[in-house]
Structure 1
Amino acid sequence: MARQLQEQLAARFPVGKRLRVLDVGLGQGMRALRLARAGHWVTVLERDRTRVLQARRALAAEPKGIRARMRIVEGDGRDTGVHFPPGGFDVVLCHGVLMHAEEPDPLLAGLARMLAPGGLLSLLVRNGDASALRPGLRGDWAAALSALGATARLPRPRTSPDEKVPAGPEAGARADRLADMTATLAGIGAPLRAWYGVRVFTDTAFADTAADDAEPPDDLEMLLAAEEQAGRTDPYRAVAALLHLCGVRG
């Protein structure tokens, strides 16, 4: 995922340019920190106060130059226009947020307005076109049938190999189809320019290593190499658990 984003940044912007980046949804905070450490100006918008406080404490331990380049704002991703002027960012990231939004279109339109001309919009969404595959591979036929019936809420995938996936209806998350997202991005003025599959193999490969004391697979390096290649190759990327979509503001 980090490599895919770096590839898109390198393709869209001059080498050495310090980019203005808006990251909507903090996650674990490492994505924003990596970008700040690389020399970019990063603003994080996060609505969860606990995460904001934790991130500010973590940022305080970073060198002065990185602290100066990274700003953490408490607020909702749907209210970007309240916090920032239109066209103020070269890159807008929204990874793992849309799956929790009941009405994603207004959020997406607001994110696109934050982009300067030629700016990159990077999204990570659930893949609604392959939602029955993983429950089917696990033998969870009820979930597979539900997904095949185009249900709107599906079990949430792992966001890292060591994360335990919660069960029950509270774990549900939206899923989006590639064709629908392509049309939406065109409609908000940030047409899709590239897309990748994320977690083609790793969800099932890490299924038996969710315990806290579990060892990573012996062939981890080869697994990650295969995952990286499959995420760029048809038809494999189309059955990934997640889709990484990259749109460019016209």
Structure 2
Amino acid sequence: MLAIPCRKKHKPSEVSLVPNHPKMASMAFSTAFFTPLHDFTHARANPTPSSPSFPFIKSSFASSKSTFFQPGFSLQTSSNFPRTLVKSTSFSVHARAATEKTIYDFTVKDIDRKDVPLIKFKGKVLLIVNVASRCGLTSSNYSELSRVYEKYKNQGLEILAFPCNQFGMQEPGSNQEIKQFACTRFKAEFPIFDKVDVNGPFTAPVYQFLKSSAGGFLGDLIKWNFEKFLVDKNGKVVERYPPTTSPFQIEKDIQRLLAA
């Protein structure tokens, strides 16, 4: 727990400079306490009078250069002060737990809504992609994914396709319509799964894992249809590709992992 550093006692000559009025004294303390935090905090907008407010902390708060993490600094919270600060060790524990996970820790539903434990793909190289049926990238990606799969499936490659309707609402159909479209028009033989969210509060757990394992240019946000993740034989994400990357452009990376 953090502790508030003791306030320096004023010499008798300095005490007279501090207002004796309770309200003024409170203002003096507030200014002295919160001014140092102003440079790296955001004030909560419209705080409610019924609950104490605390500035939201930027990501730099956890930096080793932050005042809060310098040796000898501590902050003690009173009984009515919100306990929003946690020990820095919790950040490293959470990060370590995330990196220890693999793709095999997840179970997903296939296009027929049957459970599929991803551990069934253990020992294989996986190319995971969020697909859509009405996107400008649909034809080229489905065609190339099918050809890459046909070429390497007997060498240990699996392509896992997850339909998603979050980008321009370009995957509006039912699971059966998606299945018929992919299998009939593009002869897709690789596994297609249940429609999922890849961003937002309802993000599928498997995509939470994928994004946390390989942050992209805009952090962990999936940018559009046909973003791709390459997973090695140990279930670890090793590469992430933007939607405009052709499946053919990934062949060398696939070959390298297959040979490992």
Q: Max radius of gyration: which structure?
A: 2
TM-score by shorter chain over 0.5:
no
TM-score by length of 1: 0.26
Structure with the bigger percentage of strand: 1
